[in-house]
Chain A
Amino acid sequence: MSANPTLVPSALPELFPPLRPQRGWIAFVRRHPMVALGAALLTMIVLLAALAPWLGTVDPTRISPIARGRVPSAAHWFGTDMLGRDLYSRVLYGARVSLTVGLAVAVLASVLGLVIGTLSGFLRRLDGVLMRVMDGLMSIPPILLAIALAALWRGSLGGVIVAIAVAEVPRVARLVRGVVLTLREQPFVDAAVAAGTCTPMIIWRHILPNLAATMTVQATYICASAMIIEAILSFIGAGTPPTIPSWGNIMADGRAIWQVKPHMVLIPAVFLSLSVLAVNLLGDGMRDWLDPQQPQRI
């Protein structure tokens, strides 16, 4: 006698594969299309910025008086500006400025906001003073605050980064303080206090890890907003020094004759918008993925 082979227990897994969540990047893309789209777009822009010297560019600051104000052609893919500088090279190198500023401001503003927000949430005595200062800074419209600071430290990329970061910090600090105040009431913090853990250790082990998701999402939004503010500052002449090719500077250079040569303004504009869109998509997607309780950007 022989048993029906299909009923042998060892054959069961082949007939009924266990229900396992789909893994791999295809499944991830299907579940989080926004993150994937944003990440893909951002990767492309990062690659363009990083590989700029090897992508058929020339020196973005080289002036060529005989090739002024050219429209896009085979020799100059995006045309040239009124000093004869190659716009394709300038736009690609401009991506470096935009991404650097976005990343640097996101890191700086997040760290400062975390420090101020956590101090405020834990030290009642400092809380009043710190929050009044943050309220004061928040009541200056962010772009004007950045303009005022950048006008003070004009002529350096570092000054622009610090100026934008200062304008972004109050919102981060407020958000962090709110989350810290909620976390402090959680049972696991009570337990840690009861076990005799010192406050710095509680912050390190229990508070910061719980802030990670929120902060990652907020840092993406800060990055997007910093890229826009950098372009605005450069465009109105208060930002990145005019010798550095940044998207705002390229648009400022093309401003005088944009009605005749719209490509001088519109090409960097498209690159700027796509980059900010990529970062925002990444942020929105990550919020749904990592931090669904945080419904809105600040």
Chain B
Amino acid sequence: MNRGAYVLRRLAATLPVMAVVALFLFSLLYLAPGDPAALIAGDNATTEEIACIRASLGLDRGFAARFVDWSGRVLQGDLGQSIFTALPVTTMIAQRIGPTLSLMAVTLLLSVGLAVPLGVLAAWRSGGWVDQLVMAAAVLGFSVPVFVVGYALAWLFAVQLEWLPVQGYAPLAEGLWPWLRHLLLPAVALGGVYVAVIARTTRAAMLEVLRQDYVRTARAKGLAPAPILFIHALKNAAVPIVTVIGIGIALLIGGAVVTESVFVIPGVGRLTVDAIQRRDYPVIQGVVLMFSAVYVLINLGIDLLYTLLDPRIRY
């Protein structure tokens, strides 16, 4: 099968996935306790007024009709309106997305930049001290939750040593260093599990590749270890590593909600936590839907990237 057909088939395969996500999240709002019409009408509304608002919102119709209606609006970029602030959910997300994107970008760069070389070194000197350290750190990374790392780091580097701010956020417009200073501790805390996952996968993939004949050939012709590891081997180990970087984005998204709470960063995660406390279901639904769509699109992009990374792949 040629590349074009594969791309089309892969795109088509994401449609049922997104449909399941949409149906699931719509049911969530459908089943949520509380009557939006009664909330909008206020305390002094009569039963007739509430019924009138319910009819105008289309809440009196059946599940299927409301789902079709809702899906149509979502496809046009309308995620509904917050019960609490009456603002469109998309506006509320747009106001908060900057800090979250910054946090995730810094975490992604730091984690991949640290984890891949560590995994390569661990595989190169398999059984050596780097290897043992990486494997032990990976178990720790899986075991210590994001917010625990966050508080421990903040306590040490911000409260005790006073090197970095304890909490808060500075937009990039205020300068690169203030922005980065506020994001360093959250990014390290958030990246813990992610680094563990990537380093372990890199190590496993590299161990596999380093056993190949062409690596022995490269070594035999007197090539230095660095080019062998980072050019010959890493390139051929790339597919599983890139896959896990993509799948791991889910860890970053989930972790961001918690990290933003610990470091008081005014991002989408804070918005979610506030929405939970106010029982603002449309906001919760909108945030989860947006993040899921982003996650699906990233992994779609990575699947398409494979055909470029490894031309041997045929579908």
Binding site for B on A (CB under 8 A): 132-133, 135-137, 139-145, 147-149, 151-152, 154, 224, 228, 231-232, 235-238, 251, 255, 258-259, 262, 265-266, 269-270, 272-273, 276-277, 280-281, 284, 295-297
Contact = CB atoms under 8 A, between A and B. Distances in A.
Interface in B264-280: 272-273, 276-277, 279
A116 B31 CA distance: 24
B84 interface: no
Given A140-B292, A143-B257, A148 B285 contact: yes
A89 B28 CA distance: 37
B32 to A, nearest CB: 6
A114 B296 CA distance: 26
Interface string B132-155: 000000011011111110011001
B166 A259 contact: yes
Contact of A296 (B32, B200, B250, B284): B200
B261 interface: yes
B139 A277 contact: yes
**Chain B interface mostly helix, strand, loop or mixed?**
helix
A238 B257 CA distance: 12
A23 to B, nearest CB: 29
Contacts of A231: 145, 147
Contact of B145 (A147, A149, A232): A232
A135 B152 CA distance: 36
B143 A276 contact: yes
A145 B276 CA distance: 13
B180 interface: no
Contacts of B28: 148-149, 152
A136 B24 contact: yes
A151 B284 contact: yes
Interface residues of B, number: 54
B254 interface: yes
B258 A232 contact: yes
A144 B288 contact: yes
B17 interface: yes
A211 B61 CA distance: 46
Interface of B: 16-21, 23-25, 28, 31-33, 139-140, 142-148, 151-152, 155, 159, 166, 200-201, 204, 249-251, 253-255, 257-258, 261, 272-273, 276-277, 279, 281, 284-285, 287-288, 291-292, 295-296, 299
20 contacts: A132-B16, A135-B20, A136-B18, A136-B24, A140-B295, A141-B251, A143-B258, A147-B276, A148-B28, A149-B28, A224-B142, A236-B257, A265-B151, A269-B147, A272-B148, A277-B139, A280-B143, A284-B139, A296-B201, A297-B142
A259 B263 CA distance: 12
Contacts of A273: 143-145, 148
A269 B151 contact: yes
Given A144-B288, A237-B277, A136 B20 contact: yes
Contacts of A259: 159, 166
Contacts of A280: 139, 142-143
Contacts of A152: 28, 31-33, 281
A151 B25 CA distance: 12
B152 A147 contact: no
B250 A142 contact: yes
A296 B244 CA distance: 12
Nearest to A149: B28
Contacts of A132: 16-17, 20
Contact of B20 (A137, A149, A265, A266): A137
A272 B146 CA distance: 12
A106 B28 CA distance: 24
Contacts of A270: 148
B276 A238 contact: yes
A59 B60 CA distance: 49
Contact of B147 (A144, A235, A277, A296): A235
B258 A136 contact: no
B151 A258 contact: yes
Contacts of B151: 251, 258, 262, 265-266, 269
Nearest to B261: A236
Contacts of B257: 143-144, 147, 236
